[in-house]
Structure 1
Amino acid sequence: MYEAYYGLKDRPFQLTPNPQWFFASKLHKRALAYLQYGLSQGEGFIVITGDVGTGKTTIANQLLAKLDPHQIIARQIVTSKLNPDDLLRMICSVFQLQVKEHNKATYLEAISAYLQALAQQKKRALLLVDEAQNLPLESIEELRMLSNFQLAGKPLLQSFLLGQNELNAVIQSPHMEQFRQRIIASSNLSALSVEDCQAYIEYRIQAAGGPAALLDNACFAMIHQFSSGIPRKINNLMDRVLLYGFLEEIKTFTPHDVQQVIQEISGEVANHTPVNNQVPVAAAQHVEASAIAEQPVANPYHAMLTELSGLLDNSLQHKIRMAQQLDELLTQQQQQVLKQNQHLNQDEVDNKNS
């Protein structure tokens, strides 16, 4: 929608990782170097961990894009809580191996035969396991056992594990000592610094064909504060910022504009009318990101829930009053019936006496 307005050939902040737009921060360069080093060794495990949205999958895709398919057959799996047998079955599936029976012995036989056939063609297999923190200990141990497949003293399968920080705790389990001895390199991805955040945003905009100076320098500290330096969160915010700029016909963004979008994402109603505590545009250069983060986040459903609660209360009170009135009417009717019966009985007695 906003691409043509800003002269962009594509959306620069789409959530789907784009290997062609890989931003190599210092930490990402290190992680990619570990992967490439492990690949050159042809053995052991490489482990890359990090918080959600820090770019682990992007790094994996970057590595896969540069591999020579005539030398390395690489496949990537995204795991859930797979038991060892299901993991072996998935490995057979991604390498397109045919099995006659669905059991562990058949899976292992098919994998072994395939790896040996690759070795005879002077090729080897690479397995990237994404979201590896979901694997139980037994399944990670199964990966270690697969690394024992060898031919002429050379490993036939190499595995890279990418996962969230919980994977570190799994690997440090006392039962994982043998696996830890097979790790030849590991790296942890953390959030981008303010400087890297600015460089990342400017790089993505330029890669999409847009102008580098699309945002005032004072905007980047606010963006970093709101996103915590997580690339995926930066993408979410910046995509909304560009959409907001298109709708408001903004060519260069100021902190005031970014603040408006942050308020919208935070659930606050962003009107075009001035807000009492709004930072003036003239003083926007001095806005500190911490001040934005400390603003209370309004609940857009609070008023609705309050009104609904009031209606329910009123309805309940109304029903109670109706029930009380009904009880009073029934009591009055019962009293009237009793009086009528008493009169009838007295009349019968009088008639008998007469």
Structure 2
Amino acid sequence: MARIKLYTDFFRFEDNPFTLVPDPEFLYWSPQHQEAFAIFEFGLMSLAPITLLTGEIGAGKTTLVQAMLPRLGPDVTVGLVSNAQGDRGELLQWILYALGEPCGSGASHVQTFERLQDVILREYAAGRRIVLIFDEAQNLSEDGLEELRMLTNLNSRKDVLVQLVLVGQPELRDMINRPGMHQLLQRVAASYHLKKLDKGYAADYIRHRVRVAGGTGDEFTDSACDAIYNATKGVPRLLNQLCEFTLLYAWAGKVRRVDGETVGDVLADGVFFRGHDPEYESAFARLSPRPPFSGASPVV
């Protein structure tokens, strides 16, 4: 796919530093991301029945999953299920599809479960265990989570046939902690919750991504990093979105560094949308109005 240049050539970047697509090459290893990865790896290597990874929207959960996949050996068959919804029978179909297994239409729940069980036993006979990773698992119903717990019953003390990794937003933890979910909770042997970045790590995150993309890291001043943090509260996905706009504005204005004034211009124009946040809206209201942004010609 052709790279959209816009500001990348102007700043002499080799790539877009703030793409929203999860990319392990851009992963910023803050202390908490290192801890989360270690717990994630511990859960898989210790054969934990269920590993739980939660965090705020855009905290880097999916990127951590992408970084883990290459580390899994040939004795592991991975099924990655994203945004699975529906009833219990449909969930089993999602799993079969993720494992690359055909699932005939019209099959009953019992038939679908038997089909999945056959796949799991086949992989076990071949010396492989199955790891099922559910991204955005907060979208699963309680019945769906209970269905997943039942899969871990195929394991014995000595032999682990299937492991589950549940990745989701904070409400997933709330779901699992409900009184009726105690049997599932007892199977969670490893868990970690990713929080937002603090101000210092947010600045490091911004400059890290710029350097990975081929820049120097000095493209963002301290005042810019402070203003970006104040507007995003350290959520990585929001950091990416706002930084993208600030680079676009700097390119249009033919300036080589993003400063606090550039960030203020982006916020004043209202092109950055972070959802309802009274604190952010109060800060936005204090910004002085400015003429609307008008796109400039690319600088060669």
Native 8 Å contact 1:219 1:258 kept in 2: yes
Once the two structures are superposed, what CA deviation does each residue of 1:25-49 show, in whole Å capped at 9, x if it has no partner? 1111111111100010123111111
Name the amino acid aligned to 2:17.
P
The answer for the alignment partner of 2:233 in structure 1 is: 228
1:44 to 25, 41, 49: 49
Structure 1 gaps of 5+ residues are: 269-289, 301-354
Q: State how far apart, in whole Å, the 2-side matches of 1:99 and 1:258 are.
A: 51
Once the two structures are superposed, what CA deviation does each residue of 1:36-71 show, in whole Å capped at 9, x if it has no partner? 000101231111111211111111111113322x22
- The TM-score normalised by the length of structure 2 is 0.86
Native 8 Å contact 1:227 1:233 kept in 2: yes
Per mean C-alpha deviation after superposition, the further-off stretch among 10-19 and 107-116 is 107-116
1:171 to 176, 196, 204: 176
Q: State how far apart, in whole Å, the 2-side matches of 1:261 and 1:34 are.
A: 38
Native 8 Å contact 1:193 1:229 kept in 2: yes
The answer for the alignment partner of 1:91 in structure 2 is: 95
Q: Name the SS for the 2:172 alignment partner.
A: helix
Once the two structures are superposed, what CA deviation does each residue of 1:312-332 show, in whole Å capped at 9, x if it has no partner? xxxxxxxxxxxxxxxxxxxxx
Native 8 Å contact 2:75 2:127 kept in 1: yes
The answer for the alignment partner of 2:152 in structure 1 is: 147
2:10 to 1, 5, 8: 5
**Which has the larger Rg?**
1
Taking only the aligned residue pairs, the percentage that are identical comes to 27
Once the two structures are superposed, what CA deviation does each residue of 1:130-158 show, in whole Å capped at 9, x if it has no partner? 11111111110110100111368312110
Once the two structures are superposed, what CA deviation does each residue of 1:200-243 show, in whole Å capped at 9, x if it has no partner? 00100000001221122122111101011000100000001111
Q: CA deviation at 1:126?
A: 0.6
Q: State how far apart, in whole Å, the 2-side matches of 1:159 and 1:127 are.
A: 5
Native 8 Å contact 2:123 2:130 kept in 1: yes
Name the amino acid aligned to 1:216.
T
- The TM-score normalised by the length of structure 1 is 0.74
Structure showing greater relative contact order (alpha-carbon pairs closer than 8 Å, 6 or more residues apart): 2
Q: State how far apart, in whole Å, the 2-side matches of 1:85 and 1:50 are.
A: 28
Native 8 Å contact 1:19 1:65 kept in 2: no
Q: Name the SS for the 1:3 alignment partner.
A: helix
Cα RMSD of the aligned pairs, angstroms, is: 2.2
Native 8 Å contact 1:98 1:110 kept in 2: no
Q: Name the SS for the 2:148 alignment partner.
A: helix
The question of 1:28 aligning with 2:17 is answered no
Once the two structures are superposed, what CA deviation does each residue of 1:62-93 show, in whole Å capped at 9, x if it has no partner? 1113322x221112111343211110111111
The question of 1:296 aligning with 2:296 is answered no
After TM superposition, list the pairs within 5 Å mapping 1:189-268 onto structure 2: 189-265=194-270
Q: Name the SS for the 1:147 alignment partner.
A: helix
